[in-house]
Chains A and B, each alone.
Chain A
Amino acid sequence: MSQLSVAPITDYKYGFHKPEKYIFKAKKGLSKKIVEEISWYKNEPDWMRQFRLSSLDTFAFLSLPTWGADLRRIDFADLYYYIRPVDRKVHSWKELPNEIRDTYDKIGIPQAEKKFLGGVNAQYESEIVYESIQKSLSTKGVIFLDMESAVKQYPDLVRQYFGTVVPADDNKFAALNSAVWSGGSFIYIPAGVQVKMPLQAYFRINAASVGQFERTLIIAEEGSFLHYIEGCTAPIYSTDSLHAAVVEIIVKNGARVRYTTIQNWSTNVYNLVTKRMKIEEEGIGEWVDGNIGSKVTMKYPSMFLAGKGAKGEILSLAYAGPNQHQDTGGKAIHLAPDTTSKITSKSVSKGGGATSFRGYIQIFPEARNSKVKVACNALIADSLSHSNTYPVMKIGNSKAQVEHEAVVSKIEEEQLFYLMSRGLKKEDSEAMIVNGFIEPIVKELPLEYAVELNRLMQLELGGKIG
């Protein structure tokens, strides 16, 4: 078996034995029976069971994308589609692979956090913090739950929106997620409520925080505000080699939602995610999307600008090291007049890594006076690496204004020379230049993420920290 395909959970490539603490584990492979078992185990209402089953048919019917990264090596029959989170966790700090432990140390993550990030089943100290946050949210009427609980506690609300922004037949991986989803967040912000601090999946620690087939649904009612953060800069070690998440966001009139993702899966993971936002009148939707880890990532956060005056922005950051392929980008579909969108992408490839930017802009005839600006910059750090840019712009309206530019370049010799003449080593100089290059996106991140990300880039580029 090649290291690309998914080894059984008991003997994966890092070679440490994982005790089988059996609680519930579906059999390998995908079938109607497995999907029914998952639904039964979660004690779901009938409509969700039906949704899963019909999505399974859709999954079988749809074919793999013919473009982008090579996905033919994913063996769908050799995967576990449902494992209780307890089984997924590594049981002690020592069981984690060395390189992951090293990275945690080098980027300076506190011990308690390290354990959580490494998937070590520890009681994280933020538990108390979490309680108080939950309390202050619920007094405002904010619902912040894991998806399973939301299906049970707020069935009508979930049913009304679930699968409306990303339908199951959107693509093969959205269909797969719809059939076997587990975990993810459900957030409902009532009209006019401003959630001041960013919400993080972090705080939902007792639920399945790191899932293979996460399903997230966010509903921001009129005039509300939310910043949601998913993932973290530290590498997340995962024993699952396929991640197919779906994120659906509904931004109602005048509301604003920012969704920040920092993805740093270990490099055995195929990360194939569908993320989409529907933005209504005068609403603002923002995606901040950073991809550093995984073996292959295919992810194009999208915005449907459906209401007059809606605004959307995507900031995309990708780093591809050896054997990595980051196929990322963004999509903006303008359906209503006076809508604006902006996509900024920065990518770095090194050591044989490949980055691709895939953009899609469509302006419908109804979307008069729409404005679009797309800028992508790619940095190729050495002669082994690749970079591709694939933007598509479809304009069906003469009252639109579209600007697109892309630049691919290397690390400037002059800048390097200057820094080295000031006594910096070559690796450190390179890291400094790369950090400067990605800075416009990094500065949009919360401070601790930005600091960690800068350290991580320095580490990836062979420089030393300190």
Chain B
Amino acid sequence: MRQTENRKQKREKRKEDIVLIQNLRQDFIYKLDAGERRTIVMFLCEKGYQNGKIKIIIKGNRSAIKLLGIIIGSGQQKIELSTLQHHLQPESKSYFYIKSILFNQAKFDYRGLIRIEKGAQKSDAYLKSQNLLMSPSVEVENRPFLEISANDVKCTHGVTIGKIDQQQLYYLTTRGLTNKEATKLLLLGFFQDVIQEIPQETLQIECKKKISDIISKLLERTNN
């Protein structure tokens, strides 16, 4: 009996570890204490102008933060996002993984700064931004910055911007899928690795469902 209660508590705690951000109406600033581990899931699919900052201040050592970003932009929407991974203390990890798919005339302006202060040795910071462009009139701007003042660190960022792989699309259509079905499958696949990292199954399923609905609607509209 007691054991199950403990497990329940643990599960509750793990749930708490996840912070969900669904819009950028206000800036999100989070200070990470020593030994703290946290995952932030940013699910931005709301319509309309979005502008906000996500600032993670690592003020304790041996802590870890993970930000998983899913962004779908459409219509004439403009999304402006800034993120900060500010390492003040040593031996902490920050891992940001942001993926966006942009339709119509959507604009996405992303600034991501990794800043390692002098004493923050053995920091491990990672930032990846991947953007898929679905229409010729979308605009993307990426500014992944690094400011490093400690030497014993590992800091990496990567950006890719591109369109759907035509070969993959062709392959799927030769297997009998319509163009739209194949596109949808590839777009869902694009988000798959971010979704997999969400440490809570119910939330994973929820995200997948939501993404699938939104993409279906957008694809229908583009074809008409």
Would you call B160 and A391 a contact (CB within 8 A)? Answer: no
Alpha-carbon separation in the docked complex, A402 to B131 (Å): 10
Contacts of A395 in B (CB 8 A): 131, 133, 139-142, 161
Q: In the complex, are the beta carbons of A383 and B156 less than 8 A apart?
A: no
Chain B: minimal CB distance from A339 (Å): 15
B interface residues, Cβ below 8 angstroms from A: 118, 121, 131, 133-163
Chain B residue at minimal CB-CB distance from A410? B151
> Judging by beta carbons under 8 Å apart, are A401 and B154 in contact?
no
Chain A, interface residues (CB within 8 Å), range: 20 to 34
The complex places the Cα of A410 from the Cα of B121 at a distance, in Å, of 11
Within 8 A of B (CB), among A376-410: 378, 380-383, 385-410
Asked, given contacts A383-B121, A401-B163, whether A391 binds B144 with beta carbons under 8 Å apart, the answer is: yes
User: With contacts A406-B156, A408-B148 known, what are 20 further pairs, Cβ within 8 A?
Assistant: A380-B148, A383-B118, A383-B152, A388-B145, A389-B146, A389-B157, A390-B146, A394-B141, A395-B139, A395-B142, A398-B163, A400-B162, A401-B163, A402-B160, A402-B162, A403-B160, A405-B156, A406-B155, A406-B157, A409-B155
Provide the bound-state CA to CA distance between A267 and B133, in Å: 46
Chain B residues touching A, majority SS: strand
Q: Count chain B CB atoms within 10 A of each CB in A392, A400, A408 and give the residue with the most.
A: A408
CA distance A131 to B144 in the complex (A): 51
B interface footprint on A263-299 (CB within 8 Å = 1, 0 otherwise): 0000000000000000000000000000000000000
Give the residue of B131, B138, B143, B162 whose beta carbon is less than 8 angstroms from that of A391.
B143
* B139 and A405 contact, CB distance less than 8 A: no
Cα A404 to Cα B150 in complex, Å, equals 23
| Nearest chain B CB to A362 CB, angstrom units | 9
| Contacts between chains A and B (CB distance < 8 A), count | 114
CB neighbours (8 Å) of A386 from chain B are: 147-149
Taking Cβ atoms with an 8 Å cutoff, the residues of A that contact B are: 365, 378, 380-383, 385-410
Partner of B161, one of A378, A401, A406: A401
Nearest to B146 among chain A residues (CB) is A389
Chain B proximity of A195: nearest CB distance (Å):
38
B136 close to A390 (CB less than 8 A) = no
A387–B118 alpha-carbon span in the complex (Å): 11
Contact: A407 with B156, CB < 8 Å? yes
CA A403 to CA B133, docked complex, whole Å: 14
Chain B residue with the shortest CB-CB distance to A404: B159
A402 to B160, CA, bound (A): 5
A-B pairs with lowest CB-CB distance, top 3: A398-B133, A389-B146, A402-B161
* In the complex with contacts A383-B151, A408-B153, A393-B141 CB distance below 8 A: yes
Which of the residues A381, A382, A390, A410 comes within 8 Å of B153, measured between beta carbons?
A: A410
Asked if B151 and A381 sit within 8 Å, CB to CB, the answer is: yes
CB distance from A353 to the nearest CB of B (A): 12
Q: Kindly report which residue of chain A lies nearest to residue B163, judged by CB atoms.
A: A398
Given contacts A385-B151, A393-B161, contact A408 B146 (CB under 8 A): yes
Residues of chain A within 8 A of B157, CB atoms compared: 389, 404-406
